[in-house]
Structure 1
């Protein structure tokens, strides 16, 4: 920033024939305005505020701008990868389960969930390249074999990805297109307060670095509770040291990283068995999670 200011100051001096550190008394009004504008825009304080605000907006709703591109590489891919893996592990997923990833972003968490709920589809696509492009029944689409009403892949589960960012939906759609064609992944451009799924249709829900940006924790968790089946689980994973650092940098100005408020909101909307796991030996370094369940149905006797 100092280099930019020095360059612009030199340009101003050359244009208006100014001496370095020339008193304002000897400057024209136009030169005074330009010098003030230069110092105001490119001072280290103002520039850092502008940059931190751009990163804060990129965290809340990523787009295709430079801050979001940097965040996608350093935060969403590098830092959030172990968080997504750990959150999926804590969901205790089984083949055939239906899963919801809130704030799915680039689809990293969806990939980890697919390995657990759709192992047949993953194996089939790995050894059948044409199916990645044309779908599992590509031979039937070419008219070489009859179209099957059902296949063994239908026993696999489905992963729903939910994100408010159109840019993230587009990027994840390109990364997951083979699974979308196989109908194992469904992406939704919507908010957590309006989940486009039927009541009691999901076995598990997980989210990473998402609830800080929810307008209302209670309304969002009520919607998550609605779509979960009785006994379903919701898991969030987070790294407190990352949150503290982002807060110091001003990246969380549009967020509310209040973990205790989230845990209390879980209980207030009706979740049970709420547990805050802090010292799990199997967790990545510095990573914690909160897990809760939807109460099971009580049989009438």
Structure 2
């Protein structure tokens, strides 16, 4: 992928679009591979569960979320290009009967109330200026006892990234507080650290938080 300037990269990470969309999607898959795997492990989808993913890009990690027999997947994505690419990926993986992509916004999820057993959002909090409306929507979509896994960069680490200058950064304590206010109980926290190439092509030490919460 041709190197993008910081502001252009930030816009692409929020909503991949135009000629760069597919390359950005694949770059995000490489950059976020370890974090996604850690989040999927923490979420621990059980057989028969309905799983919602917010901002899945091209659905590269949906097959891992669907390892449990009878589980079903819905990815909600802002980018029309990623919805198309993800739909094709799911078809290629033979998952069209168990998984789907839908164009939508986390602030107004196109799903019924209490229809999901588990939800996942990896590296999407930066595009939610206010956590409360999105967490309220996720609480609405999840059944009582349903699980939500949020994975996001430590605010200190994120401030070192030039392309994150306009991201909304959230401290760990603030995210936990927002989850409780939205009707969740935080049940687990993990720290994820790795040395890897980022979306800007630079190698650095990366630090992320993973929170698992249950809807009351």
Q: Which residue of 1 aligns with 2:128?
A: 214
Per-residue CA deviation, residues 116-149 of structure 1 (Å, 9 max, x unaligned), is: 2x4xxxxxxxxxxxxxxxxxxxxxxxxxxxxxxx
What TM-score do the two structures reach when normalised by structure 1? 0.61
Q: Which residue of 1 aligns with 2:211?
A: 290
Determine helix, strand or coil for the equivalent of 2:66: helix
Map 1:30-179 to 2 at 5 A.
Answer: 51-66=5-20, 68-74=21-27, 76-116=28-68, 118=69, 156-178=70-92
Q: Which residue of 2 aligns with 1:10?
A: none
Contact 2:121–2:149 (CA<8 Å) still a contact in 1?
A: yes
Choose between structure 1 and 2 for higher RCO, CA contacts under 8 A separated by at least 6 residues: 2
Deviates more, 1:205-214 or 1:177-186: 177-186
Q: Which residue of 1 aligns with 2:176?
A: 263
Determine helix, strand or coil for the equivalent of 1:89: helix
Q: Distance in 2 between matches of 1:105 and 1:166?
A: 10
Q: Distance in 1 between matches of 2:135 and 2:94?
A: 27
Q: CA deviation at 1:181?
A: 6.5
Determine helix, strand or coil for the equivalent of 1:225: helix
Contiguous gaps of at least 5 residues in structure 1: 1-47, 119-155, 296-301
Q: Do the aligned partners of residues 183 and 262 (structure 1) sit closer, same or farther apart at CA in structure 2, a change above 3 Å counting?
A: same
Determine helix, strand or coil for the equivalent of 1:193: coil
Q: CA deviation at 1:99?
A: 0.3
Q: Distance in 1 between matches of 2:112 and 2:212?
A: 22
Q: Distance in 2 between matches of 1:288 and 1:102?
A: 17
Determine helix, strand or coil for the equivalent of 2:164: coil
Q: Which residue of 1 aligns with 2:143?
A: 229
Q: CA deviation at 1:273?
A: 3.0
Contiguous gaps of at least 5 residues in structure 2: 195-206
Q: CA deviation at 1:108?
A: 2.1
Q: Do the aligned partners of residues 267 and 181 (structure 1) sit closer, same or farther apart at CA in structure 2, a change above 3 Å counting?
A: closer
Q: Distance in 1 between matches of 2:92 and 2:106?
A: 25
Determine helix, strand or coil for the equivalent of 2:112: coil
CA RMSD of aligned residues (A): 2.4
The correspondence for 1:252, drawn from 164, 182, 192, is 164
Q: CA deviation at 1:84?
A: 1.4
Is 2:197 aligned against 1:276? no
Q: Do the aligned partners of residues 196 and 173 (structure 1) sit closer, same or farther apart at CA in structure 2, a change above 3 Å counting?
A: same
Contact 1:179–1:185 (CA<8 Å) still a contact in 2?
A: no
Q: Do the aligned partners of residues 115 and 284 (structure 1) sit closer, same or farther apart at CA in structure 2, a change above 3 Å counting?
A: farther
Deviates more, 1:78-87 or 1:221-230: 78-87
Structure showing greater Rg: 1
The size of the alignment, in residue pairs, is 201
What TM-score do the two structures reach when normalised by structure 2? 0.82
